[in-house]
Amino acid sequence: MSNLYTSPSQFSQAIQDPRKTVYLYQNQAFQNALSTSPEKPTDWQPLGQLPPLYPEYLGDPKFKHTHQLRFAYVTGEMANGIATPNMVIAAAKNGMLGFLGSAGLPLSATEQHLITLNQALPKQAWGANLIHTPQHPELEIATVDLFLKHHVKRASASAFMTLTPALVKYAYHGLTQDSQGHILRKQHLFGKVSRVEVAEKLMLPAPEKLLQQLIIEGHLTEHETQLGRLIPVCDDITAEADSGGHTDNRPLHVLLPSLLQLRQSLSLDNPCCKNIRIGAAGGLGTPHAVAGAFAMGAAYVLTASINQPCIESGLSDAGKQALHEATETDVMMAAAGDMFELGVKVQVLKKRSLFAVRANQLYDLYKRYDGIQHLPQDSVDKLNTWFQQPIESVWQETQPYLQQHNPQDLVRAEQDEKHKMALIFRWYLGLSSRWAITGEQHRSADYQIWTGPALGAFNRWVKGQYLEDLNERTVGQIGLNLMEGAAVITRANQLKNAGFELSAEGFEFPPRPIHLS
């Protein structure tokens, strides 16, 4: 038969379309062969068949059903509006779930974005980011109130180290029961975690003390808390491995199985935990990585860093170009602006930027000295150069902002010189990410761009291919290619495990234009 394949290279060619059934045969001349036609070849012994594996089949069917998705694929909430409404809309239009990068934005700007998304996506699934702000818990509650006001049905909780009233309010607000007694959520909270101890709190019902606090403060009703005692805070947990931004640099092949095992152990005493869906994020920049995540049992996959150079991204062209040139090793951990005093770090791009080195030196100065006036003169001179203005001018710029947004910080700074120094340093740490978004040319050496090593792997995958061109990089095309490629690679492994020898090409998937039907 003309479509009978008997060599490793022929096998590899035949399985590049995961939508075709492959028929497996054997005879005396060849140990194994396959065909893409159901017609049996003469003198060949049928061994079985390899059914189609559509990209839509990957992941947890309940995840796709619950969130009304075609693909078990999520685009992450890159902060300060880098994950724009256009990015969220593009993901939804391609049957995926996108989260708005609302962290770091003024509530007024977030509200306008929510209005835009509600108008553009009245029926499709989408969500927004709820980030932990330990210094200002009132901001978490205000954000949740805004989400509830505009009927945001999905929120991704990031950088949380423990349960807070805002998380539980969003998760349990509006809980009801159907006629069969099943508890129905009005909102779905996605918990993004990199630590097992944090995941455990999100996988269990909220503690009684916190529920009582929410009742007393008027955030939840007695009925809502009664139902909340019977379900976990989150039905969807994202295992955040070695990612951009806030990360503990956990390897995905360590973190994901740990969370799957945690779910199993918790469900022994808490049956409500057994249906929690656990997705994978961090390190997912190639079809191989995505296929590996699904093979380990991920309910869904989430990508973020690789979407920053997309057409729909809110990052500046200069920032996109820097990411376009990055390799796997062009990343570094740097002091985080939002949790600076706690010593928390974020993973950022170090190519073309001095931000990471400077941010870490700022934290070192903060640890060693009790105020600006205690800094050595050479350190003061260095800071004046980095800030491109005298330190005192930075403080004068910072005060009006604090007066408007965080007046309690201003009061504390007048009494605590070390806190004042932290606020001055946070001026640089905060603005550096905005300079990368707005493309401030005279600040290019200070760009703070959150990314992980997956971006370098992605760049290597698309080198010389369709998606190398930044003008072709859209959220939809990246997601479709990753899912299509993951399906191809998964089937290649199925054939390999069945005893068929494939050439290296069988485990490769060059990106190509993909159009949904």
Asked, for residue 483, whether it belongs to a domain, the answer is yes
Answer whether 266's CB lies under 8 Å from 204's CB: yes
What would the mean pLDDT of 438-455 be, rounded to a whole number?
Answer: 96
**DSSP letters for 110-129:** HHHHHHHHHHH-SSS--EEE
User: What number of H helices and E strands is found in the chain?
Assistant: 19, 17
pLDDT in tens, 99-133: 999 999 999 999 999 999 999 999 999 999 999 99
Name residues whose C-beta falls within 8 Å of residue 163's C-beta, 6 or more positions apart in sequence. 201, 202, 206, 207, 210, 233
CB atoms closer than 10 angstroms to residue 222: 8
Q: Which of 349, 357, 359, 333 is nearest to 426 (CA)?
A: 359
200, 218: one domain: yes
Distance CA 138, CA 409 (A): 14
Asked, for residue 255, whether it belongs to a domain, the answer is yes
391, 246: one domain: no
215, 82: one domain: yes
For residue 41, the model assigns a pLDDT of 82
**With the CA atoms of 361, 366, 367 and 368 taken in that order, what torsion angle do they form, in degrees rounded to the nearest 10?**
90
173, 225: one domain: yes
Asked, for residue 34, whether it belongs to a domain, the answer is yes
CB atoms closer than 10 angstroms to residue 101: 28
220, 141: one domain: yes
Q: Looking at the predicted structure, is the pLDDT value of residue 135 above 70?
A: yes
Give the distance from CA 501 to its chain's centroid.
36
pLDDT band at 38 (very low <50, low <70, confident <90, very high): confident
248, 178: one domain: yes
- In three-state form (DSSP H/G/I as H, E/B as E, the rest C), the secondary structure along 349-376 is ECCCCCHHHHHHHHHHHHHHCCCHHHCC
Q: Which of 300, 315, 330 finishes a domain?
A: 315
For residue 98, the model assigns a pLDDT of 98
Name residues whose C-beta falls within 8 Å of residue 87's C-beta, 6 or more positions apart in sequence. 75, 98, 307, 310, 312, 313, 314, 475
For residue 36, the model assigns a pLDDT of 87
**With the CA atoms of 277, 283, 286 and 291 taken in that order, what torsion angle do they form, in degrees rounded to the nearest 10?**
-30
pLDDT in tens, 472-490: 999 999 999 999 999 999 9
Asked, for residue 463, whether it belongs to a domain, the answer is no
Q: Which of 424, 446, 468 finishes a domain?
A: 446
Q: Which of 42, 45, 43, 48 is nearest to 23 (CA)?
A: 48
Distance CA 374, CA 37 (A): 79
pLDDT in tens, 352-408: 999 999 999 999 999 999 999 999 999 999 999 999 999 999 999 999 988 888 888
Which ranges of 97-251 would DSSP assign to H, the alpha helix? 107-120, 137-149, 165-172, 196-203, 208-216, 222-228
Q: Looking at the predicted structure, is the pLDDT value of residue 433 above 80?
A: yes
171, 196: one domain: yes
Distance CA 211, CA 196 (A): 23
pLDDT band at 2 (very low <50, low <70, confident <90, very high): low
Query: Edge-to-edge strand order for the sheet containing 245-246?
Result: 245-246, 345-349, 331-335
207, 349: one domain: no
278, 330: one domain: no
Asked, for residue 457, whether it belongs to a domain, the answer is no
Asked, for residue 465, whether it belongs to a domain, the answer is no
Answer whether 21's CB lies under 8 Å from 49's CB: yes
For residue 40, the model assigns a pLDDT of 81
Backbone phi, psi, residue 215, to 5°: -70, -45
pLDDT band at 288 (very low <50, low <70, confident <90, very high): very high
Q: Which of 321, 324, 331 is nearest to 351 (CA)?
A: 331
For residue 438, the model assigns a pLDDT of 96
68, 162: one domain: yes
Domain count along the chain: 3
pLDDT in tens, 73-108: 999 999 999 999 999 999 999 999 999 999 999 999
Answer whether 316's CB lies under 8 Å from 309's CB: no
pLDDT in tens, 294-348: 999 999 999 999 999 999 999 999 999 999 999 999 999 999 988 899 999 999 9
135, 263: one domain: yes
Q: Which of 124, 129, 146 is nearest to 238 (CA)?
A: 129
Percentage above 90 pLDDT, the chain: 87
CATH of the domain at 239: 3.20.20.70
Domain holding 397, by residue range, is: 320-446
Answer whether 451's CB lies under 8 Å from 331's CB: yes
CA-CA-CA-CA torsion sign (165, 170, 172, 175): positive
Q: Looking at the predicted structure, is the pLDDT value of residue 246 above 90?
A: no
Q: Which of 315, 333, 357 finishes a domain?
A: 315
Q: Could you tell me if residue 314 is left (phi over 0), alpha (psi between -120 and 50 degrees) or otherwise beta?
A: alpha
95, 243: one domain: yes
Asked, for residue 516, whether it belongs to a domain, the answer is no
For residue 517, the model assigns a pLDDT of 85
Asked, for residue 379, whether it belongs to a domain, the answer is yes
Answer whether 12's CB lies under 8 Å from 505's CB: yes
Q: Looking at the predicted structure, is the pLDDT value of residue 160 above 80?
A: yes
Q: Looking at the predicted structure, is the pLDDT value of residue 240 above 60?
A: yes
